[in-house]
C-alpha cells in the first residue's frame, strides 16, 4: 500500500509538471503573442544590467521550462538584424553589469558598432559607475555607445583589473590534509591554490601578462571611443573614485541626469512618435527581417566538458557540456544534407581529457565529411575547451577571450594526517600493486607516484602532439605556446593558436566563404541538437523525478507507477508504459 501511494504521488507530480511544461511550451512558441507588427520609428530598448549569458541553460526552473532569457548569441543576432531594419532608428541601453565576461562584452560592442555604422543612434544610461566594485565590464560596454548618461549620485570608480586567489596549503597542512598529484607544466596554475602558499613565479608571470593584455585592450578601446589619449585614460583610472561631474568634465561620460532625462533625449533624437520596444517585443515582431537561405549549423559547448551524461537532478543548472551530447550534435550536423558549414561555439574552462578528445575527433570527422567547421570562442576556451577547438578549419576568438592552457593536472586530497591526529586508523585489504592508488585515506607509495607522473607525461605528450599537428606548430613554437600558459585572444593569435580576432558574425562570414556561399546571400543559423531534443530531455528529467527511466517515447517504470498510470487512463503494457502523444514542440 505504501509503495502504491509513493507511486501515485510521484506520477501525479510528474503529470502536473508535464502539464505545466506543455503550457509553458505553448506560451514560448508565441501562440498568445500579438501578430501586430511594430510601427515605424522604433527605438530598441536593451536592459544590459544583466548581460546575457552564453546559453539560456539554467535548468527547468531557471529557464528551460519557462522560456528564460535570450542568450548572448540570440541577442547579438537580433542587434545585427535591427541594424538592417529601416524601422529601427536607435537604441536605448541600460548599463550596470560589472561582472560580465569580457568576451560577451566584446560581442555586444561589435554589434553596437555595426548598429551605429548604419547611421543609428545608441544612448546609454547608468545609475552608477561607482559605489563599490570595479565597474570594468559595464563601463567597457558603455564606451561603445554614442552617448553615456550617468546619474548625478552615481559617481565613477572604474578601477582596473585584479585576480585574487586563496592559497590553502598552510591551512590544509595544519589540518593534516595533503594534496597529492601533479601538473604539466609550470604554467598550469589551477592546482597551485592547493599546493602552494602564493603564486609560483611562472604562474605570476603568465597571469600578469594576461591582465596586462586585457587591460591594454580596455584602455585602447576606451581611448578611441572617448577621444582621449591612452595615457590619459590610465591616469584617470588610477585616480578614481570621483563624482559624476568630474567624469563628465574628463569626457568619460557625456551627460549627467536621471533615466527619464536620458529617455527625453531619446525622444528628441527619434521624434515624438517614437515607440520604445524591448528586445523581446522586437524578437516576436512578425515584420522583423528573418534570414532565410543556406543553412549553417550552430553547435555549442558551454561549461565544463565531461564524459557521458551528467549526474544532476531535473531541476539543476546546465553547467556542463557532455561529450556524448556535443559529439551527437556534430554528427547530426555533419550528416544533414542541408547544412553547408558548422559553427562550433565554445565557452568552457576545460574538463576531462577523454571527453575533450572525443569532441576533437568529432570535429575532425565533420571536416572529413566535407563540412567546414569554424570555431567561435566566447569568454573562455581553455585546456579541454581549447582541445575541442584545435581541429577547426578556422578558429575565431575575441581579443579578450581567455584561451590555451595546454597542459594537464590531476590532484586529490589525502587526509591521513588528519585521521591520525583524531586517533582514527584506516586499514586496507587489496589485490593488485596499485589498488587504492588514489585513496583519500592513505598516501600513494613511491612507485604509485611514479606511475601517476608517467600518466601525466603521456597525456601532456598526446595533447601537445595533437595541437602541433592541428595548428602546424613544432619545437620551440609549440613549447612556447604550451606548458599550461593561458593567453588573451590577441596573444593567442601571435602564438599561432587561433586564426582570427572577432565574434560570431565574423565566424559566420568565414563559414559562408568556406562553404562557397556568396557573401551577399543570407543564411539560416540552425541550432544542433534541435530545440525539440532539448524539450525531450526536459521530459526525460521529469520522468526520472518520478522514478521512471525514459527510453524515447516508451518508458520503463516500476510496477506501482505503471498501475497508477493505468488508473489515469494511460495505456500500460507489461514492463513498460507508453506516454500520451506529446505536443509537436516535444517530438
Distance CA 214, CA 99 (A): 15
Nearest to 511 by CA among 295, 214, 223, 364: 295
Cα–Cα distances in angstroms (integers) from residue 522 to residues 58, 76, 295, in the given order: 31, 16, 9
Cα dihedral 16, 22, 24, 27 sign: negative
Same fold flag, 38-159+240-283 and 294-407+445-514: yes
Distance CA 481, CA 495 (A): 6
Query: In whole numbers, what is the pLDDT of the chain averaged over residues?
Result: 86
Other CB atoms within 10 A of residue 450 CB: 11
Nearest to 156 by CA among 133, 182, 172: 133
Maximal CA-CA distance, the chain: 83
Distance CA 77, CA 526 (A): 12
Question: Could you give the count of Cα atoms lying within 13 Å of 195 in the half-sphere of its Cβ?
Answer: 18
User: Going by CATH, does the domain composed of 294-407+445-514 fall within 1.10.357.10?
Assistant: no
Query: What is the tens place of the pLDDT at every residue in 278-323?
Result: 999 999 999 888 878 899 999 999 999 999 765 554 444 457 899 9
What 3-state class would DSSP assign to 196?
Answer: coil
Distance CA 123, CA 143 (A): 11
Structural contact between residues 409 and 351, judged by C-beta atoms closer than 8 angstroms: no
Structural contact between residues 308 and 352, judged by C-beta atoms closer than 8 angstroms: no
Structural contact between residues 158 and 184, judged by C-beta atoms closer than 8 angstroms: no
Where does 96-191 show beta strands of DSSP type E? 121-126, 147-150, 178-184
Task: Tell me whether the omega of the peptide bond preceding residue 241 falls within 30 degrees of 0, making it cis.
Answer: yes
pLDDT at 32 over 70: no
Cα dihedral 122, 127, 130, 134 sign: negative
> Does the active-site annotation cover 383?
yes
Distance CA 563, CA 550 (A): 17
* CA–centroid distance for 23 within its chain: 28
Query: What is the tens place of the pLDDT at every residue in 516-559?
Result: 999 888 899 999 987 655 555 555 555 555 555 544 444 455 55
* pLDDT at res. 31: 41
Least trusted range by pLDDT, from 16-25, 156-165, 311-320: 16-25
Distance CA 293, CA 227 (A): 40
Nearest to 507 by CA among 391, 363, 396: 396
Query: What is the tens place of the pLDDT at every residue in 330-375?
Result: 999 999 999 999 999 999 999 999 999 999 999 999 999 999 999 9
Q: What is the DSSP string of 431-442?
A: SSTTTTTT-SSS
* pLDDT at res. 540: 56
Distance CA 284, CA 130 (A): 36
Task: Assign a CATH topology to domain 38-159+240-283.
Answer: 2-enoyl-CoA Hydratase; Chain A, domain 1 (3.90.226)
End-to-end Cα separation, the chain, in angstroms: 36
* pLDDT at res. 110: 98
Q: What are phi and psi of 550, to 5 degrees?
A: -80, 135
Tell me which long-range contacts 63-67 makes (C-beta under 8 A, separation of at least 24): 64/318, 64/534, 64/538, 65/20, 65/21, 65/24, 65/538, 66/24, 66/28, 67/24, 67/27, 67/28
Q: What are phi and psi of 276, to 5 degrees?
A: -90, 115
pLDDT at 40 over 60: yes
Residues making up the chain, counted from first to last: 587
* pLDDT at res. 274: 83
Percent of the chain with pLDDT over 90: 74
The H-assigned helical ranges of 227-347 are 230-237, 244-249, 259-270, 279-283, 323-335
Could you tell me the three cell numbers for 80? 545585427
Task: Tell me whether the omega of the peptide bond preceding residue 341 falls within 30 degrees of 0, making it cis.
Answer: no
What residue segments make up the domains of the chain, in order of their start? 1-32+552-587, 38-159+240-283, 294-407+445-514
* pLDDT at res. 107: 98
Percent of the chain with pLDDT over 70: 81
Q: What is the DSSP string of 539-565?
A: HHHHHHHTT-EEETTEEE--HHHHHHH
Which position among 188, 340, 371, 512 bears the catalytic label? 188
* pLDDT at res. 538: 54
Query: What is the tens place of the pLDDT at every residue in 488-518?
Result: 999 999 999 999 999 999 999 999 999 999 9
| Cell 570527422, located at residue | 365
Q: What are phi and psi of 371, to 5 degrees?
A: -105, 115
Structural contact between residues 504 and 107, judged by C-beta atoms closer than 8 angstroms: yes
Query: What is the tens place of the pLDDT at every residue in 402-431?
Result: 999 999 999 999 999 999 999 999 999 999
Distance CA 37, CA 432 (A): 72
| Sequence-distant (≥ 6) Cβ neighbours of residue 28 within 8 angstroms | 66, 67, 585
Structural contact between residues 572 and 565, judged by C-beta atoms closer than 8 angstroms: yes
Which position among 323, 376, 383, 405 bears the catalytic label? 383
- Count Cβ atoms within 10 A of the Cβ of residue 538 and give its class: 0-12 exposed, 13-18 middle, 19 or more buried: buried
The whole-number average pLDDT for the span 204-227 is 97
Distance CA 88, CA 340 (A): 31
Could you tell me the three cell numbers for 354? 577523454
- Count Cβ atoms within 10 A of the Cβ of residue 544 and give its class: 0-12 exposed, 13-18 middle, 19 or more buried: middle
With cut-offs at 50, 70 and 90, classify the pLDDT of residue 575.
very low
Tell me which long-range contacts 506-509 makes (C-beta under 8 A, separation of at least 24): 506/376, 506/396, 507/343, 507/374, 507/375, 507/376, 507/394, 507/396, 508/296, 508/343, 508/374
Amino acid at each position: 500500500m505504501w509503495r502504491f501511494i509513493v507511486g501515485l504521488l510521484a506520477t501525479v507530480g510528474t503529470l502536473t509538471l508535464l502539464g505545466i511544461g506543455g503550457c509553458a511550451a505553448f506560451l514560448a512558441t508565441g501562440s498568445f503573442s500579438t501578430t501586430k507588427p511594430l510601427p515605424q520609428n522604433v527605438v530598441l530598448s536593451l536592459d544590459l544590467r544583466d548581460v546575457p549569458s552564453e546559453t539560456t541553460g539554467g535548468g527547468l526552473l531557471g529557464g528551460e521550462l519557462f522560456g528564460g532569457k535570450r542568450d548572448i548569441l540570440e541577442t547579438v543576432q537580433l542587434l545585427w538584424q535591427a541594424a538592417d531594419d529601416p524601422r529601427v532608428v536607435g537604441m536605448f541601453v541600460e548599463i550596470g553589469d560589472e561582472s560580465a565576461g569580457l568576451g560577451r562584452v566584446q560581442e555586444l560592442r561589435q554589434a553596437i558598432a555595426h548598429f551605429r555604422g548604419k547611421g543609428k543612434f545608441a544612448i546609454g544610461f547608468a545609475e552608477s559607475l561607482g559605489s563599490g566594485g570595479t565597474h570594468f565590464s559595464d563601463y567597457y560596454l558603455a564606451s561603445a555607445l554614442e552617448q553615456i548618461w550617468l546619474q548625478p549620485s552615481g559617481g565613477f570608480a572604474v578601477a582596473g583589473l585584479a585576480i585574487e586567489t586563496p592559497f590553502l596549503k598552510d591551512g590544509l597542512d595544519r589540518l593534516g590534509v595533503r594534496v597529492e598529484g601533479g601538473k604539466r607544466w609550470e604554467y598550469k596554475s589551477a592546482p597551485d591554490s592547493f599546493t602552494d602558499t602564493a603564486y609560483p613565479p611562472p604562474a605570476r608571470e603568465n597571469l600578469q601578462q594576461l591582465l596586462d593584455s586585457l587591460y591594454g585592450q580596455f584602455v585602447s578601446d576606451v581611448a578611441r571611443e572617448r577621444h582621449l589619449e591612452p595615457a590619459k585614460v590610465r591616469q584617470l583610472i588610477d585616480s578614481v573614485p570621483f563624482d559624476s561631474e568630474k567624469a563628465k568634465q574628463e569626457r568619460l561620460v557625456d551627460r549627467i541626469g536621471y533615466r527619464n532625462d536620458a529617455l527625453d533625449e531619446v525622444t528628441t533624437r527619434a521624434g515624438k512618435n517614437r515607440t520604445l520596444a524591448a528586445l523581446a517585443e522586437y524578437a516576436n515582431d512578425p515584420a522583423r527581417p528573418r534570414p532565410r537561405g543556406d543553412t549553417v549549423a550552430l553547435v555549442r559547448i558551454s561549461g565544463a566538458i565531461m564524459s557521458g551524461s551528467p549526474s544532476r537532478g531535473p531541476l539543476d543548472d546546465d553547467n556542463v557540456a557532455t561529450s556524448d551530447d556535443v559529439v551527437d550534435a556534430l554528427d547530426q550536423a555533419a550528416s544533414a544534407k542541408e547544412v553547408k558549414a558548422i559553427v562550433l561555439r565554445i565557452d568552457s574552462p576545460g574538463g576531462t581529457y577523454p571527453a575533450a578528445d572525443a569532441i576533437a575527433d568529432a570535429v575532425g570527422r565533420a571536416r572529413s565529411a566535407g563540412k567546414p567547421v569554424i570555431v567561435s570562442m566566447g569568454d573562455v576556451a581553455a585546456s579541454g575547451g581549447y582541445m575541442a577547438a584545435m581541429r577547426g578549419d578556422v578558429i575565431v576568438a575575441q581579443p579578450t577571450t581567455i584561451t590555451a592552457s595546454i597542459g594537464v593536472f590531476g590532484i586529490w586530497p589525502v587526509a591521513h594526517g588528519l585521521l591520525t591526529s583524531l586517533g582514527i586508523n584506516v586499514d586496507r585489504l587489496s589485490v593488485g600493486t596499485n589498488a587504492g592508488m588514489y585513496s583519500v585515506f592513505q598516501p600513494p607509495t613511491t612507485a604509485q607516484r611514479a606511475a601517476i607522473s608517467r600518466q601525466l607525461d603521456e597525456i601532456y605528450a598526446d595533447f601537445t602532439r595533437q595541437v602541433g599537428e592541428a595548428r602546424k606548430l613544432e619545437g620551440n613554437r609549440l613549447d612556447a605556446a604550451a606548458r599550461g600558459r593561458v593567453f588573451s585572444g590577441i596573444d593567442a593569435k601571435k602564438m599561432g593558436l587561433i586564426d582570427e580576432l572577432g565574434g560570431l558574425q565574423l565566424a559566420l562570414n568565414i563559414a559562408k566563404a568556406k562553404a562557397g556561399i556568396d557573401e551577399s546571400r543570407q543564411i539560416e543559423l540552425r541550432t544542433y541538437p534541435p530545440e525539440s531534443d532539448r524539450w525531450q530531455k526536459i521530459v526525460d528529467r521529469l520522468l526520472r523525478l518520478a522514478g521512471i527511466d525514459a527510453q524515447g517515447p516508451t518508458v520503463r517504470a516500476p510496477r506501482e507507477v505503471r498501475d497508477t498510470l493505468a488508473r489515469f487512463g494511460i495505456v500500460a503494457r507489461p514492463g513498460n508504459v507508453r506516454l500520451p502523444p506529446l505536443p509537436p514542440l516535444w517530438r
